[in-house]
Structure 1
Amino acid sequence: MTLPSLPELLAGAHVVALPLATRFRGIDVREAVVFEGPEGWTEFSPFPEYDDAEASAWLAAAIDFGWAAQPAPVRTRIAVNATVPAVDAASVAGVLARFGGCRTAKVKVAEAGQRLADDVARVRAVREAMGPEGRIRVDANGGWNVDEAEHALHALAEFDLEYAEQPCASVDELVELRRRVKYMGIPIAADESVRRAADPLAVARAGAADIIVVKAQPLGGVRRALEIVDEAGLPAVVSSALDTSVGLSMGVALAAALPELDFDCGLGTSALFTADIVTPPLLPEGGGLTVGRVTPDPERLAALAASEDRRAWWVARLARCHALVTSD
């Protein structure tokens, strides 16, 4: 594959700002750059706090998805989970209602400024809304130390957790926590310890997780993520990074190409936006998404365009990351 030049990328680049229905990851608006390559539309949307070295993997993924043919899918539909931000218990039902037919919910916990009691109330509300057949997983984004995580999982165990995602930040902590809670039968999943690690396979080698969470953009693209899953030898869940529908289609392509997929995927997050650039957005229907590329609506691209100063910020970032990608 011949890498596109920076002028090629910028010629069709759209910087967009999508409003969120509920504050998530500390933000109310999600910004992204989308552009069209020979293979279709693609997305570059590393979070603003990530440095250029980390963000360059996201650009490599975007270029690969837009300029190279992708691995063949082995399934045509992907079951997805609802995502419940760190809202109060009374707001849970309204959040779940945005995710059509999902049988699984991922619930954010360990939010800064909140207490374990808030997490327990939120997870209880999810269980009550979904009933005994619903599947519930919690995601702490590395927010607990080992003792806090052990205590929290004891408190949440009554809700029959499918797994706990990134309860602690480091691989060593995950190893110790997994040892402590193994008798409880709650699997440990690693997310940040895979996608933000210099060595994404360290988790598997250390025996620090039962499941790995993979995201196409942070790992450098669909092909690289598939390689990591294969080398790790662990069950995988494909998730999004709060992408637009274009970025979600990249995650769907990854999930569709995995040889085995035993868990519902975190690719229904367009439901967290009040507006998206694709008409209709890539929203869960009957608890799943159809595999395939999507194309933005020109009117939505215009309506959701970021401000000029934010466009300038993203263009400068794109240029810096492009220099890193093309120097490798």
Structure 2
Amino acid sequence: MNITEVEEPQPDEYVYILPLIVILGLSGNIISLVTIFHSRLRSVSANVYLIVLTSADSVFLFGVLLVCFKVDFIAFEYCVGLEYLLMTASYVSSWATAALTIERYLAIAHPLKHVKYDHVNRVRMIAYWVPIPFVLQLFQFVSLKPVDGDDRKCALKEANYQILAQAVDTVLCYLLPCLTIVVLNILVVLKLRRSAFIGTNREMSRRQGGQTAKSGSLTRILWVMPLVFVVLNTPFYVIMMIEVFSQVVYHSPPEFTHRSQVFVIIYNTAHYLYYINTAIDVVVYAFSSANFRKTAVIAWRRIFCPRYVEKQKHKVVY
């Protein structure tokens, strides 16, 4: 799987879109990380997953920036290293998203169990699975071969490697996280609707009007999360599977000069959507929370307006 391979029928499009995605994504990630480390959110154990997700997305976006400068066109070592960096970051990001979804599912659907296991060290749990993608992606150094010419300096050695690499990547980096995210969010939505239905009556509706509205807002957010993951990731994996099978089964040449303009547009769009997914993860999973948005404002106000914060602390209300 070549995560870096974006064809550029119009150089201006390629040059402007990728840096824009990177800048927006890194800006959101920086805001998120600063908010967590400069507020009480750093003491929330579940936010460790958000930190890992944000860090992995930032590494991926940095890799995309290197793609924009065509670092993979310089030498074989650069090409393999960039492929390893992007693939590893992609795995960690997908798994962190799934872990964050599991954490949220337990907190909402099974709050008592979540409290019971709240003492479990999340950092230690992450330390067990984060190294796995780093080991798995060592496959890149074995499966890739040097390529001469003016194109990318690395490519998969054999057809069997292409099928195996794409199949493993699709299952581990897309299907399993996708099923986890979609199924658990649906279960949470059903749980919330069932609870709202059971608890709704004439007497309680007057007292819980605000809570019902809050529950409805949470339900909408829970629908958005899996929808964003599916919409932004699915085209990329579908187009990559089509590309691999066309090259392996039908012996279609990999050069884009043999592709129609429509295919090139679809191919590039799928890659752009995939890159956008890593750029907006923090928006979907962090800033969708009103509490996080409020905390972000307070944290950044402390950094840029410390005097204002001190005045607010000592302000006496009569």
> Which category of TM-score, normalised to the shorter sequence, fits these structures?
under 0.3
- Please, what TM-score do these two structures have when normalized by structure 1? 0.24
User: Greater strand share, 1 or 2?
Assistant: 1
Structure whose residues are more often helix by fraction: 2
